[in-house]
Chain A
Amino acid sequence: MNVGLFIPCYVNQFYPNAAKATFELLQKSGVNVTYPVNQTCCGQPMANSGFEHLSKGCNDIFIENFSSFDYIVGPSASCVLHIKDHLHSDKDEELAANIRTKVYELVEFLTDIVKIEKLNAFFPHRVGLHHSCHGLRGLHLSQMSELNAPPFSKPQYLLNMVKGLEQIKLDRLDECCGFGGMFCVTEEAVSVKMGKDRITDHSKNGAEYITSSDLSCLMHLEGILHRNRSAVKVIHIAEILNGAT
């Protein structure tokens, strides 16, 4: 099974440890991982701002880098969802459509494709799980609290395999953190207030760490935590699953 590792641009630059953990986790799970070094960005920042027509260059590069793999896996639900929903090509739409069906977020790849049953990971901390909206309502990594439907959670399933980890309960199970891409700067006041309120939910329920399958949410929450000198830390789920201590 040939897997192309898709590392979103900001993860590559600001959170290389999450990328390394993803790379190592995939290697450990027995798949053949390749990292195409010429990848750039999924195009979401432009598209979500209403400039989808400017994301063609990104689309072409994505297709160039990833069309040869059986699966494409990335540690970011948001970027993966963008590819799944909006990757198109003027040159070869069939190829783009094919890529849209084989791109996976890391957690769902581990649970649905690799069908992982155990992990050699130890993380003796109290952890709050933040569901990114794109992971939750876009990729259906967990059941959505609004629906009258049976509960399930792929990230929780994996976190349950980590020794020593204690998952805290939140008052609001799956509320948005307020990052929202460009929203975080164009609607700064609302974005920060949403982030602060999410953090309060985690901290008052005893979280030492907030984890998620999306680093964009975590980057936003981390920025607020740092500013307020909070002891609560953020960590990408790949780093926990890969055996962080």
Chain B
Amino acid sequence: MSQTKTKDHAALAGAFIKDEERVDWHDGALWYIREKRDIAAKQIPEWEQLREAASNIKSNVISNLHEYLLQFEANLIKNGITVHWADSAEEHNEIVYSILKAKEINQMVKSKSMLTEECHLNEYLEERGIEVINSDLGEYIQQIDNEPPSHIVLPCIHKRKEEIGELFHEHLGTEKGLSDPTLLTRVARKHLRNIFLTRRGALTGVNFAVAETGEYVVCTNEGNADMGAHLSEVQIASMGLEKLIPQKKHLGIFLRLLARSATGQPITIYSSHFKKPRKGQEMHLILVDAGRTRQLGRKDFRDSLKCIKCGSCMNTCPVYRKSGGLSYHNTISGPIGAILAPNLDMKRHADLPFASTLCGSCSNVCPVKINIHDQLYKWRQVIVKEGYAANTKALGMKTMAWTFSSPVRITKVGEAGRWFLQNIPFVLNNKFNPWFKQRDMPEGPKESFTEWFIKNENKKP
């Protein structure tokens, strides 16, 4: 029978790990960013209070989303921005297409937006004759390689500079063998400059949308969102419903947390505020649900909507660092992806909450204090109850539960295990036992603690 199913995280991670040298620098590069984040966080005495405040503000937002959305919409309209509501990814894509079509635009430049990746906007527009260029350098590299981003902040962190040089040689005509990052960046910059100058339509994501003023903030290090937006006739912003903050003053908390958490920078190079169209320009903002209100209805998982997409949980996650973002087969990878994805398609993403040791480091770096590792544990319970665990696993677990719930049975199994380990270890040490592939089994001691204890107690006068 042919297998058409997407490979699961374990299989994809296993393939990534085969190139151990790559894993080592991937792990090292991300750990370096985690360390930069630690240094930045520890320079702010009130860091933990900032996290607490941000978490509370976001709790308020997701608990009163209805009011904030209406307030935001009213202010957007006042500012002259056209507001669209999209229930699904498809509806979002249709709206973007209709805006561009009305102005007969067939080329668009797009700055980083995980939401449009989630909606597969580029593919949708390309099928309808509209060319999209991603202007964030990392996303641009991923686009020319026809691969999704592997990290929400560092889209091509899994690629070596030599591989990027090869891509540039193939697509941008650079000299073969050129892999100096500065030189490659200059080439990309020149190429993108021309894109910015010629595109009439520009789309950006949204980092923070301010309900009280009807403005939105886009954070980039490259200034690419501004370049696209300022030179466009039609500016579109796509945002998930959860991106709201109540007041402008709250940016003082979120902007301080975002860049420090993401890369260890005090602030992103550009924090661009967009409020109203220039004369002769059209501005559109699309508010997208695409499963967010469903997640809001899940008591145990609603806090995942507080996420500000800093990527710090990925950088700190040892599983992510060793397995690469693409092994999560979802737009948002890593720990946060693993708690968001099952909401979108539980069957397809049933493996992701299990792709974790539940070490808890993710929850500790999260700038809005999402209890990510607790949610991973809870998703596991939901996935099993909904019947998405493999049958073999369910049977094994039932046997284990039956064994472990009886002192007699557990003793028998333990004795048998130790007997095999001592006498014929190859019964347990074989290729069908995944433990044994790269690890030895413990040596089987002669007696268990219980046996020793009973003997010892009986010796006492």
Which residues of A come within 8 Å of B, CB atoms? 7, 9, 11-17, 19-20, 23, 35, 37-41, 43, 45-58, 60-61, 133, 136-138, 144-149, 172, 175-176, 178-181, 183-195, 197, 219-220, 222-224, 226-227
Q: Give min CB distance, A38 to chain B, whole Å.
A: 4
Among B44, B45, B401, the residue within 8 A (CB) of A55 is: B401
| CA gap between A146 and B362 in the complex, in Å | 9
**Chain A residues with Cβ under 8 A from B454's Cβ?**
37
| CA gap between A39 and B418 in the complex, in Å | 18
Which residues of B come within 8 Å of A, CB atoms? 9-10, 13-14, 17, 20, 23, 27, 31, 38, 41-42, 44-45, 47-48, 316, 318-319, 322-323, 353-361, 363-365, 373, 377, 380-385, 389, 393-394, 397-398, 400-402, 404-407, 410, 414, 417-418, 433-435, 437-442, 444-445, 447-450, 452-454
Q: Which B residue's beta carbon lies closest to that of A137?
A: B360
**Chain A residues with Cβ under 8 A from B434's Cβ?**
184-186, 188
**Chain A residues with Cβ under 8 A from B353's Cβ?**
50
- Could you give 25 example pairs across A and B, Cβ below 8 Å? A9-B410, A13-B448, A15-B445, A35-B453, A40-B407, A50-B385, A50-B389, A51-B397, A53-B381, A56-B405, A61-B407, A137-B364, A172-B31, A176-B318, A178-B357, A181-B357, A183-B356, A185-B434, A190-B17, A190-B322, A192-B438, A193-B322, A219-B442, A223-B440, A226-B439
Among B13, B384, B401, the residue within 8 A (CB) of A190 is: B13
Are the C-beta atoms of A48 and B442 separated by less than 8 Å?
Answer: no
Among A51, A172, A187, A223, the residue within 8 A (CB) of B355 is: A187
Q: Give min CB distance, B444 to chain A, whole Å.
A: 7
Among A23, A175, A193, A223, the residue within 8 A (CB) of B17 is: A193
**Chain B residues with Cβ under 8 A from A13's Cβ?**
414, 417-418, 445, 448
Among A58, A144, A188, the residue within 8 A (CB) of B401 is: A58
**Chain A residues with Cβ under 8 A from B355's Cβ?**
187, 190
Interface of A is mostly: helix
Are the C-beta atoms of B364 and A189 separated by less than 8 Å?
Answer: no
Q: Which B residue's beta carbon lies closest to that of A49?
A: B397
**Chain A residues with Cβ under 8 A from B433's Cβ?**
185
Among A46, A55, A175, A193, the residue within 8 A (CB) of B23 is: A193
Are the C-beta atoms of B401 and A57 separated by less than 8 Å?
Answer: yes
Are the C-beta atoms of B439 and A179 separated by less than 8 Å?
Answer: no
- Given contacts A40-B404, A222-B442, list 8 more A-B pairs with CB under 8 A: A23-B449, A41-B404, A45-B404, A58-B401, A146-B316, A187-B10, A192-B437, A223-B439
Q: Which B residue's beta carbon lies closest to that of A171?
A: B31
Q: A187-B9, A187-B355 are in contact. Are A50 and B380 (CB under 8 A)?
A: yes
Are the C-beta atoms of A12 and B322 separated by less than 8 Å?
Answer: no
| CA gap between A181 and B359 in the complex, in Å | 11
Are the C-beta atoms of B359 and A190 separated by less than 8 Å?
Answer: no
| CA gap between A13 and B42 in the complex, in Å | 44
Among A11, A53, A181, A224, the residue within 8 A (CB) of B438 is: A224
Q: Give min CB distance, A209 to chain B, whole Å.
A: 16
Q: Which A residue's beta carbon lies closest to that of B360?
A: A137
Are the C-beta atoms of A9 and B414 separated by less than 8 Å?
Answer: yes
Are the C-beta atoms of A179 and B449 separated by less than 8 Å?
Answer: no
| CA gap between A220 and B318 in the complex, in Å | 16
Q: A11-B449, A193-B322 are in contact. Are A148 and B41 (CB under 8 A)?
A: yes
**Chain B residues with Cβ under 8 A from A9's Cβ?**
404, 410, 414
Q: Which A residue's beta carbon lies closest to that of B327?
A: A190
